[in-house]
Amino acid sequence: MPGNAPRPLEGQVALVTGGSSGIGAGVAVALAAAGAAVGVNYASSPEGAAAVVDEIERTGGAAVALQTDVSREEQVEALFRGLLNRFGRLDILVANAGIQKDAAFADMTLDQWRTVLDINLTGQFLCAREAVRIFDRQGRDPGRSAATGKIICMSSVHEVIPWAGHVNYAASKGGIMLMMKSLAQEVASRGIRVNGIAPGAIQTDINRAAWETPEALQRLLALIPYGRIGLPEDVARAAVWLASDASDYVTGTTLFVDGGMTLYPGFRENG
Ligand code: NAD
């Protein structure tokens, strides 16, 4: 970002889970460019997290890499303690870590079901719970942000689009949607805003098979009215907006960043 770019998150501290790759890495870099100090959580790629921290520090920002499996309660508590030790406060949580373990329903193992629900849904619960506890302790600081704290849940268009062969993943994202809305309702009076982002097809490792070959990309583009695959930066710009005071009256909503994937593209030619 150019030196004179607006920095709506100046003086704030953010934590991004699954921040060492893909959408999380893009979000971490964009939050830092907007002025936030950023905790870059990673599960298994210290190199990926170090590269994101490097990129942020090279442009004058502050960041720290923190290893955690977000599905483990004691590790999540340690993650937030680590962030507070380093930066002293928390203003923004982007609960982004997620995985797929795809299988035809009749073949899906309990382990495939549980692992996806544990990381995608329970992981967001554990992280959001720590964030709410910290926001409540800190209280509101209008000089820093209009809200007491902001939580952004990385969902998916599959919070509303059913997805055969990915029942565990779609169930986790549908769960995230109602967790996000119920939590938003519960904590709004304490000044905490909770929203979701539902990306469509974003070019990252998680969906490499869907864009890697020209044939696969062609099939994917048939589902995207806007005519291009999304990039992590497309999601990152939405995250910066949802984290900033520009969206101060927005809570309990999902922002779809999907090039129109949820617009029933099959009906484009008159149904
Ligand atoms: P990605 O695989 O690059 O990112 C997922 C990240 O989560 C990785 O960095 C991974 O290490 C981390 N992670 C996995 N298990 C973890 C754990 N137990 N603890 C902590 N971190 C863990 O893929 P991505 O596309 O950047 O996905 C990011 C989020 O966006 C996910 O929640 C995914 O469901 C969602 N999403 C992606 C797309 C897309 O098209 N790429 C679309 C909709 C939603």
Evaluate whether residue 165 is within a structural domain: yes
Each residue's pLDDT tens digit, 199-244: 999 999 999 999 999 999 999 999 999 999 999 999 999 999 999 9
Rounded-to-integer distance, Cα 271 and Cα 265, Å:
9
* Distance (Å) from CA 267 to ligand 1 centroid: 30
What is the structure's pLDDT at 4? 62
Which residues constitute the domain of residue 60? Answer: 6-257
15 Cβ closer than 6 Å to some ligand 1 atom: no
Q: Is residue 208 part of a domain?
A: yes
- Residue 84 domain-assigned (yes or no): yes
Identify whether 271 is part of a domain: no
Question: What's the pLDDT score for residue 2?
Answer: 46
Ligand 1 binding pocket mutation candidate from 114, 204, 224 (most atoms within 8 A of CB)? 204
Q: Which residues of the chain have pLDDT under 70?
A: 1-4
Q: Which residue has the tokens 């942020």?
A: 56
**CATH number of 174's domain:** 3.40.50.720
What pLDDT is stored for residue 6 in this prediction? 85
Predicted pLDDT of residue 271:
74
Whole-number Å distance between alpha carbons of 269 and 271: 6
| Cβ atoms 169, 127 nearer than 8 A | no
> One of 42, 169, 226, 264 is an active-site residue; which one?
169
40 lines ligand 1 (CB under 6 A): no
Domain assignment present for 23: yes
Domain total in the chain: 1
Q: Which amino acid is at 188?
A: A
**What value does the mean pLDDT of the chain take?**
97
Q: Is 264 a catalytic residue?
A: no
Residue 68 lies in a domain: yes
- Flag whether 267 is in a domain: no
Is residue 171 situated within a structural domain? yes
